[in-house]
Chains A and B, each alone.
Chain A
Amino acid sequence: MTATTTVPNPAPARGLPARRGPSLPRVVAAEWSKLTSLRSPAAIGVVTVAVSGVLTWLSANASSTDPGFDPMGSLGTGLPLAQVGVLVLGVLVGTGEFSTGTFRTTFTAVPRRLPVLVAQLVVTAAAALVVSVLAVAAAVVGLLPAAGSRGMTLDLAGGRTPQLLAGMTVQLVAMALLGLALGALLRRTVPAVVAAVVLVLVLPVALMLASDPGIGGAPPVGVAYTEPEVTAVGTVTAVLPGGAVTHLVPGAGGFDGAPDLGVGGGVAVLAAWVLVPLGVAAVRLRARDLA
């Protein structure tokens, strides 16, 4: 390379033969590499699975002395806390670029920007699916000692149980994606975690308490209600993420006064909670300066 001034860009002649740029599969591979190269997502995954198993085990043991004990009734007791784990997992993916300076590196490599957000959605869903399946499996395992103490066996294939297990898994994955969406929108970890926890755990309970001081908190999954009178507060609760997930399993019951959205309605409400903040984040990511 001696004729320096007449060769505007000499580099393509050197080294690497394939000079193609970022494609979605490549950006997904990069984001997966990023997610798996940090300690916190792995730690959160392990804690989430452990919390799901241990809480379910404690709850099932506590109620195993009841005369009408049904082990499957305790299946979802670890879920409210397990979903916080996957929420935080999603938030960390969503804020990881901007809470550190990594975004400068990432978006100079992928200046079209949006493939990064799509790739984050893909890798978050994949990681959350692994964690969620393990967390649900841990919950099932957590039921075994209590069931065994009463000489019962678990029938995982019967009745609504397969739907219940699938619904729990979908709920956990949805929470991870909600965390990602809020993280991508808010860009800072602490505000995003606070917003996610308020939205998913605090608001439904607060609304319930505000509407009826006699009812304290969310009923457990799997308990059927007799008087589903629809109220305004119930309707609001139903369209919050924490309310929508109760519709993922038909007949699993929802919050008092909530309209029955059905499985499709529950999925639609959850999808909106993920896609609307993610859409706003995408528009801003595409249109605004990154400084």
Chain B
Amino acid sequence: MIQVEALTKRYGPTTAVDGLTFTARPGLVTGFLGPNGAGKSTTMRVVVGLERPTAGTATVDGRRYADLPAPLHAVGVMLDARSVHPGRSAFRHLLALARTHGIGRSRVDEVIGMTGLESVARRRAGTFSLGMGQRLGIAGALLGDPGTLVLDEPVNGLDPDGVLWVRGLVRALAAEGRTVLLSSHLMHELALCADRVVIIGQGRLLADASVPELVAASGGGSLEDAYLQLTAGSVQYRGRAADEATGLTAAGGAR
């Protein structure tokens, strides 16, 4: 279980996350949505202890991440597919990670099998495509058999087969009673695999509801319609063509 309470994160004058509160519960896939720069990745980095909150708290199973006795067994983390030394093979990357927790070689082979990396496990990670890098990141997240998973854009760069696999995987993980927090920009994908959706914009909570609730609130459209309505006022980076198409003035949008 992930609990974020009144979380604020500032970098100098910039406020990336602003009083954010939400809970990702066991047994559910919680989708985490927001425009670029909304504070999703910052929130996830605070949850896994890479950054400290300016105010508020983020806890996993009731503890601050840094206070978890065995982090890999509590939380599986995939923040960025580029979290691997390009000169190291996938197998050795996972083995080094496993050794921090005394996890055996057989479990490393197991997650390599689960993520379909057998044929490339001995290749240097620098030669991997984005999709293979994502699979390696997911393998690392599964390594400690954790009760909670934090996955930042896990389907980014995956082929259709891989997208389908991630969908099945996160559904299965949640069905086993695990907590899954997953960010994505792919609305159709989230509509298919998320139970609840947390939408943020400019660091603030815009919505925290189930997918059917959001769709109903938007007037019976799609999750995408609901998302676009909710984030219309908080998009920081918008292409000029989109402004013109939607009739927004330059002063309102493009910065």
Residues in chain A within 8 A of chain B (CB atoms)? 1, 3-5, 7-12, 14-16, 18-23, 26-27, 29-31, 33-34, 37-40, 96, 100-112, 289-291
Minimum CB–CB distance from A93 to chain B (whole Å) comes to 11
What chain A residues lie within 8 Å of B101 (beta carbons)?
20-22, 26, 109
A101 and B83 in contact, given A9-B61, A19-B73, A111-B71 (Cβ under 8 angstroms):
yes
Within the assembled complex, what's the spacing in Å between the Cα atoms of A150 and B78? 65
Which residue of B has the minimal Cβ distance to A27?
Answer: B100
In chain B between 96 and 110, which residues have their CB closer than 8 angstroms to a CB of chain A?
Answer: 96-97, 99-104, 107
What chain A residues lie within 8 Å of B89 (beta carbons)?
37
* 1/0 contact string of B27-42 vs chain A (CB within 8 Å): 1000000000000000
Can you list 8 A-B pairs with a CB-CB distance of less than 8 A?
A10-B177, A27-B100, A30-B96, A37-B88, A104-B83, A108-B48, A109-B100, A291-B51
Asked whether B187 is an interface residue with its Cβ less than 8 Å from the other chain, the reply is no
Asked whether B65 is an interface residue with its Cβ less than 8 Å from the other chain, the reply is yes
Query: In the complex, are the beta carbons of A18 and B49 less than 8 A apart?
Result: no
Asked whether B147 is an interface residue with its Cβ less than 8 Å from the other chain, the reply is yes
- Taking a contact as CB atoms closer than 8 A, the residue among B51, B79, B148 that contacts A9 in the complex is B148
Query: In the complex, are the beta carbons of B147 and A109 less than 8 A apart?
Result: no
What chain B residues lie within 8 Å of A38 (beta carbons)?
85, 87-88
Known: A33-B99, A104-B80. 11 other contacts (CB 8 A): A5-B25, A9-B74, A11-B73, A15-B107, A27-B100, A101-B82, A101-B84, A104-B79, A108-B50, A108-B75, A291-B50
What chain B residues lie within 8 Å of A37 (beta carbons)?
88-89, 92-93, 95-96
Most chain B CB within a 10 A radius of its CB, from A16, A23, A27: A16
Asked whether B77 is an interface residue with its Cβ less than 8 Å from the other chain, the reply is yes
Query: In the complex, are the beta carbons of B83 and A109 less than 8 A apart?
Result: no
Query: In the complex, are the beta carbons of A16 and B99 less than 8 A apart?
Result: no
Minimum CB–CB distance from B81 to chain A (whole Å) comes to 9
The B contact surface, by secondary structure, is loop
Within the assembled complex, what's the spacing in Å between the Cα atoms of A12 and B61? 13
Within the assembled complex, what's the spacing in Å between the Cα atoms of A14 and B26? 16
Asked whether B86 is an interface residue with its Cβ less than 8 Å from the other chain, the reply is yes
Asked whether B68 is an interface residue with its Cβ less than 8 Å from the other chain, the reply is yes
Asked whether B154 is an interface residue with its Cβ less than 8 Å from the other chain, the reply is no
Query: In the complex, are the beta carbons of B50 and A107 less than 8 A apart?
Result: yes
Within the assembled complex, what's the spacing in Å between the Cα atoms of A90 and B70? 29
Which residue of B has the minimal Cβ distance to A105?
Answer: B83
Query: In the complex, are the beta carbons of A20 and B70 less than 8 A apart?
Result: yes
What chain A residues lie within 8 Å of B51 (beta carbons)?
289-291
Query: In the complex, are the beta carbons of A96 and B85 less than 8 A apart?
Result: yes
Query: In the complex, are the beta carbons of B50 and A289 less than 8 A apart?
Result: yes
Query: In the complex, are the beta carbons of B85 and A15 less than 8 A apart?
Result: no
Which residue of A has the minimal Cβ distance to B64?
Answer: A111
Which residue of A has the minimal Cβ distance to B95?
Answer: A33
Asked whether B185 is an interface residue with its Cβ less than 8 Å from the other chain, the reply is no
Query: In the complex, are the beta carbons of A21 and B68 less than 8 A apart?
Result: yes
Query: In the complex, are the beta carbons of A10 and B147 less than 8 A apart?
Result: yes
- Taking a contact as CB atoms closer than 8 A, the residue among A3, A15, A111 that contacts B65 in the complex is A111
Query: In the complex, are the beta carbons of B140 and A105 less than 8 A apart?
Result: yes
Query: In the complex, are the beta carbons of B99 and A102 less than 8 A apart?
Result: no
Query: In the complex, are the beta carbons of B70 and A8 less than 8 A apart?
Result: no
Within the assembled complex, what's the spacing in Å between the Cα atoms of A29 and B97? 10
Query: In the complex, are the beta carbons of B103 and A16 less than 8 A apart?
Result: yes
Asked whether B170 is an interface residue with its Cβ less than 8 Å from the other chain, the reply is no
Within the assembled complex, what's the spacing in Å between the Cα atoms of A8 and B88? 36
Within the assembled complex, what's the spacing in Å between the Cα atoms of A30 and B102? 9
